[in-house]
Structure 1
Amino acid sequence: MSGYDGVAEAYDDDRDPAHERRLVEALAADLPADARVLDAGCGGGRAVLEALADEYDAVGVDLSVEQLALARERAPGAALARGDLTRLPVAEGAVDAVTALHSVIHVPREHHERAFAEFARVLRPGGHLLLTTGVGNWEGRNDDWLDSGAAMQWSFHGRDRSLELLDSVGFDVTEETVRDDELGGGEWLFVRARLRE
């Protein structure tokens, strides 16, 4: 994603991952000791990879080369790959958990079901999912996001449609948390779910 290539450092500096880190720690508490975790849309590796790469087999996938470079510095123990959330470069049933924090929201919403189906494909039965999506239905663009000179786009369904799509590909939602966006405007829905066995 060229937007995140252009805004990688500004985004990394501005985002406070404390809330996400607490959610990731709660997820980790439910994982087996030898778990493999996929961070889908890993960005610069904050919150997920930096927290889990030393203890678990952690894999990060992102489209942004610049974000992957930051993730490599932050979590040198993680395996990293460039890839698309709708076509993950991960084998079927290969991971125990998938995280997708602030990543699916940048995928055009007509492809969200495909991304969710990819999460289900790569998870083992009973596997865990932690993701961020929108509370309301919205699409938009900012041509100078975070005063970086880079454009960024967002696209997401409202809560009910997102949860319907998760259900349709085999997930049972176990927890929902709504939190204000610390970068300004709107709210995010954090969802925990399990893939049906």
Structure 2
Amino acid sequence: MDTDGVIAGYARIADWFLARRHAGEPPMERPYLEAVLAGVPAGGTVLDLGCGGGEPMAGFFCRHGRRVVGLDAAWPMLAAGRRRFPDMALVAADMRRLPFRGRFEAVVAWDSFFHLPYEDQRGMFPVFGELVAPGGLLLFTTGPAHGRSDGVMDGVRFAHYSLSAEEYGALLGRFGFTVALHRVEDTACGGHTVWLARKTAQGRTNGAKDA
């Protein structure tokens, strides 16, 4: 189900969105992407959930010698990505219904995961646990606290949902991650609340490190 019209909404604003995101190297997100890059060996594979047209996330990793699998459910976004990155593996699908399984050195869900309602977000953590290889990284954005907020892009309204920081921490620990970084409303990154977690073999819960 296309919850709250998110997929249809991104299809409607694709041209507007892509014109703003296809600007090459990402200035805001760079510190977080570099943290992921440092943990993915040359030739390693990054899964970008909600990749849009491939910029700036997937493109950043491609330009730094990593393989990328990009997934998005909005066809105009994905079509733009295929034109821009003809050699990238791009998959048309909803992250809640992945058509594949596998292990990746990193999984990124930047400004995509937070469109999922509460229960769908909870249901993604066992999927993250399966997708990220031991020692691999998970990077995602959320809201700063439990609740829903709505935003408007190019006249289209989008819903954003967030669990509490405590619940995210508990879910990560339950499915084998330790939190490496949790930054709330980073003013240097457009107010994003960012999580970076590492998959461990033991799966012990660990507290977040504020930075």
1:27 aligns with 2:39: no
1:3 aligns with 2:9: yes
Structure-2 residue corresponding to 1:66: 76
Alignment of 1:8-19 (within 5 A): 8-14=14-20, 17-19=26-28
Unmatched 5+ stretches in structure 2 = 1-6, 202-211
Alignment of 1:103-114 (within 5 A): 103-114=112-123
Aligned-partner residue type, residue 61 of structure 1:
L
Aligned-partner residue type, residue 170 of structure 2:
E
* Percent pairwise identity: 32
For residue 33 of structure 2, give the secondary structure of its aligned residue in structure 1.
helix
Structure-1 residue corresponding to 2:53: 44
TM-score normalized by the length of structure 1: 0.85
TM-superposed deviation, 1:107: 0.7
Task: Tell me the distance in 1 between the aligned counterparts of 2:50 and 2:142.
Answer: 13
Moved more, 96-105 or 118-127: 118-127
Task: Tell me the distance in 1 between the aligned counterparts of 2:87 and 2:32.
Answer: 21
TM-superposed deviation, 1:91: 1.7
CA RMSD of aligned residues (A): 2.0
Q: 1:127-181 CA deviation, whole Å, 9 max, x = no partner? A: 1111111111221445xx22x3433221111222222222222211111223247
Task: Tell me the distance in 1 between the aligned counterparts of 2:115 and 2:124.
Answer: 11
Structure-2 residue corresponding to 1:188: 192
Aligned-partner residue type, residue 193 of structure 1:
A
Structure-2 residue corresponding to 1:76: 86
4+ residue runs of structure 1 moved beyond 6 angstroms?
none
TM-score normalized by the length of structure 2: 0.80
